[in-house]
Structure 1
Amino acid sequence: MSRSTPGVHADDLDHLREMPRHTEVIDGTLVFRSLPQRAWHSRLVTALQRALAEQAPPGTEIEREITIRLDDWNRPEPDVLATTAPYDPDTTFFTADTVSLVVEVVSPESAHRDRNVKLRKYAEAGIANYWRVEDEDTSPAVHAYELDEPTRSYVPTAIHRHELHTTKPFAITLDLDRLVPRGRR
């Protein structure tokens, strides 16, 4: 970390020892998950990863909780992503040019970052599609965005409740109500 500019460089993340899981670099600052994750969040992330992996075309990998190196000072960790990078068991990050979809499942402690900071940063890095998943009374609502290339900003394309049908970044159909199965009572 001996650079003339203060802060944590994106590449430093691989060399920092004893960091908690899910550590990100946002604007040169380390960001840690401060609260334990809710079961709803965990189940939804797992279900989304599985459902997207089943529908992904050849050459597209679906990963969870791996960082994306956006630039020298930003390496966020989305909940789920779609990438064209070939599988490598030693990969610790992807580059923005290989990522076609980023999914962030909003939790109370990440709400500002997911709704504002990451929305802007992923767009500026050129990632074509962003989904922000909100908990609406334990049902997922997917707020979908698509990149407007000339402005390098996202435009909202839909809010999906109950079902999601899209062709971007590939053909995807999801029964959102079935993604988070209710526990046995």
Structure 2
Amino acid sequence: MGGTMTAEPTTRPTAKKSAPEWPVPPREGWTVDDLDTLPDLPPHTELIDGSLVFVSPQRRFHNIMIRLLTNGLVSTVPGTHRVYNEMTVVIDRSNGPEPDVLVVRKEAVQGLRQTSFPVADVLLAVEVVSPDSESRDRDTKPHKYAAAGIQHFWLVEMEGEDDHAVVRVYERDPVTKAYTCTGVHRDRLKLSVPFALDIDLTAIDEM
């Protein structure tokens, strides 16, 4: 009787599941230029203090309010300005936030491939608060917008048992370079600054 027998393995070794490959930041942090060059970034990725911020799935309220305010602004702003949604605002090398709605000078529009606007060309930034972005929308981003010179800021939230919309309107004080609240609007957003505007906030029930 010759030879030896080698037992065959009864199961094949299973390959380890590969972990998601997240971009590894450079030591000095990401820059706004990286937002256009990093591959496979999720849509609407923001840059705050050199760190990438990924956006979670949004509530229906978020989507409706963006549409409602955008439609109202588009029908109101003068020909010297344009209205956009969720485009990057370049504040500095390490900060490229993405307001939900923004109004920019017409001269800042360069073409259909454009992905960002310089902060100096932004007249109004609007943030619709989401559960995952409360701190950024209420604190981090308003401070950065004001310090960078954006004259007008609106903060939109869902409030009360009936989930109605509330819009807090802010103007930048040229002395303190900080925002001052000039009004809280729940049923209608009726303003004369930065331009005449009248939006029925209760219309979200029909959208």
Whole-Å separation in 1 of the counterparts to 2:42 and 2:191: 35
Please tell me whether residue 68 in structure 1 is matched to residue 89 in structure 2: yes
Structure showing the higher strand proportion among its residues: 1
Structure 1: distance between partners of 2:35 and 2:72:
30
* Count of aligned pairs between the two proteins: 179
The equivalent of 2:164 in structure 1 is 139
1:77 to 98, 117, 130: 98
Q: Give the Cα separation in 2 of the matches to 1:68 and 1:129.
A: 14
Post-superposition offset of 1:171: 1.2
Matching of residues 1-185 of structure 1 within 5 Å: 6-33=28-55, 35-84=56-105, 85-86=108-109, 88-136=111-159, 137-178=162-203, 180-182=204-206
The answer to whether the Cα contact below 8 Å between 1:162 and 1:175 also exists between their aligned partners in 2 is yes
Question: One-letter code of the match for 1:22?
Answer: H
Distance 2:165 2:188 in 1: 10
User: How much has 1:70 moved relative to structure 2?
Assistant: 0.7
- Residue ranges of structure 1 left out of the alignment (5+ in a row): none
Partner of 2:156, secondary structure, is strand
1:5 is displaced (CA, Å) by 6.1
Structure 2 Cα separation of the partners of residues 83 and 42 of structure 1: 21
Q: TM-score when scaled to structure 1?
A: 0.92
TM-score w.r.t. length of structure 2: 0.82
2:72 maps to a residue whose letter is A
The letter of the residue matching 2:187 is: H
Is this contact kept in 2: 1:61–1:87, CA < 8 A? no
Q: How far off is 1:172 after superposition?
A: 1.0
Partner Cα separation in structure 1 for residue 177 and residue 163 of structure 2: 32
Q: Which has the larger radius of gyration?
A: 2
Question: Which residue identity lines up with residue 32 of structure 1 in the other structure?
Answer: F
Take 1:15 and 1:150, find their aligned partners in 2: how far apart are those partners?
38
